[in-house]
Amino acid sequence: MAQTPKSLVSKLSKRGPHRVLRGDLALAGQPGVVYTPAEGFNLPAVAFAHDWTAGAGNYAGTLEHLASWGIVAAAPGTERGPVPSHLGLAADLDTTLDICTGVRLGTGRISVHPERLAVAGHGMGGGVAVLAAAQQQRVRAVAALFPAPTAPSAVDAAARVNVPGLIVAGARDVDSLGSDAVALDEAWRAEHVLRVVDKASRAGLVEGRRVLAFLGAGGPERRTQHVTRALLTGFLLHHLTGDKTYAAFADADTRFPGTVVRAADDTDESGTPDAAEHAGLMAGRLLSR
């Protein structure tokens, strides 16, 4: 029996069935971390880019969550300064995928399939993931979570991305100058979907403390983390493994609880967004674990 959108989100917001290992990418010459299922061959993998002033450690729960569902999740720990190179971090995502596919992971009972790769990121890293996807052809999917502007522009790069995309934004800041979500949605060349999470903000996905906390930046939002992890996990499982159980996560016609889909044609005859969509979009304007 087919699972409902509500049951799918509930299922994927919880930890998956795999025991998880944690490793240090620095052993392969790249600062960062990698989380893997304890074993498995020809696994999918995602390279994850952090937000401005954050680091790989601020996404430990998200990376471990993905690994618990059978996805190797690795995050470079570079470009953490106040003036990071977005292209440099995009190049590090590529290097991270090289490590995942070319370096022996764990005790030798783990391998990554070279054609089951994706890039993803949060905030600044969301835009960086788009830059990385536009520069090389081996990834099969890209996820931009609460994407922020980058230089060069990820919006310009999105027109050159020819793989499926997931864009996630928070209802509190989707229309702010610090969000590229709507612009990416409008520029994306290939199949994609923009999902807006109710009552969520960009800062909510970050785990633990970060440098910007003393400036009044928002803190972690447990609900935002749970919903975003479910959306990301389902999207990657569908596109990287071909599992049709999770096809709904790539379908713009599917509405998940606590989210709305932003579409360019979500307008009524007067040319304005319908009431439900408008309300949703504008609300608030390798060690064993």
Q: What is the mean pLDDT of residues 79-105?
A: 95
Q: Which domains does the chain have, with CATH numbers?
A: 5-206+218-263+271-288 (3.40.50.1820)
d(CA 33, CA 60): 9
pLDDT at 223 over 70: yes
pLDDT at 99 over 70: yes
Higher-scoring residue by pLDDT: 136, 48: 48
Q: What is the mean pLDDT of residues 130-155?
A: 97
Q: What is the mean pLDDT of residues 111-119?
A: 97
User: In degrees, to the nearest 5, what angle opens at C-alpha 142 toward C-alphas 140 and 144?
Assistant: 175
d(CA 289, CA 19): 7
- pLDDT of 254 reads 95
pLDDT at 215 over 90: no
- pLDDT of 1 reads 56
Q: Check: CB of residue 31 under 8 Å from CB of residue 25.
A: yes
Percent of the chain with pLDDT over 70: 87
pLDDT at 57 over 90: yes
- pLDDT of 282 reads 30
- pLDDT of 143 reads 98
Could you report the per-residue pLDDT of 79-90, keeping only the tens digit for each? 999 999 999 999
- pLDDT of 207 reads 93
pLDDT at 9 over 50: yes
Could you report the per-residue pLDDT of 233-289, keeping only the tens digit for each? 999 999 999 999 999 999 999 999 999 997 654 433 333 333 333 333 333 323 333
- pLDDT of 208 reads 82
Q: How confident is the model at residue 104 (pLDDT cuts 50, 70, 90)?
A: confident
Q: Find the radius of gyration of the CA atoms of the chain.
A: 18
pLDDT at 160 over 70: yes
3-state secondary structure the chain: CCCCHHHHHHHHCCCCCCCEEEEEHHHHCCCEEEEEECCEEEEEEEEEECCCCCCHHHHHHHHHHHHHCCCEEEEECCCCCCCCCHHHHHHHHHHHHHHHHHCCECCCCEEEEEEEEEEEEECHHHHHHHHHHHHCCCCCEEEEECCCCCCCCHHHHHCCCCCCEEEEEECCCCCCCCCCHHHHHHHCCCCEEEEEECCCCHHHHCCCCCHHHHHCCCCCCHHHHHHHHHHHHHHHHHHHHCCHHHHHHHCCCCCCCCEEEECCCCECCCCCECHHHHHHHHCCCCEEC
- Cα dist from 27 to 103, 177, 196, 273, 282, whole Å: 10, 39, 38, 51, 45
How far out from the chain centre does Cα 75 lie? 11
pLDDT at 217 over 70: no
- pLDDT of 283 reads 34
Q: What's the token pair of residue 159? A: 């027109």
Q: What is the mean pLDDT of residues 173-193?
A: 95
Q: What is the mean pLDDT of residues 160-173?
A: 96
Report the mean per-residue pLDDT for the chain. 88
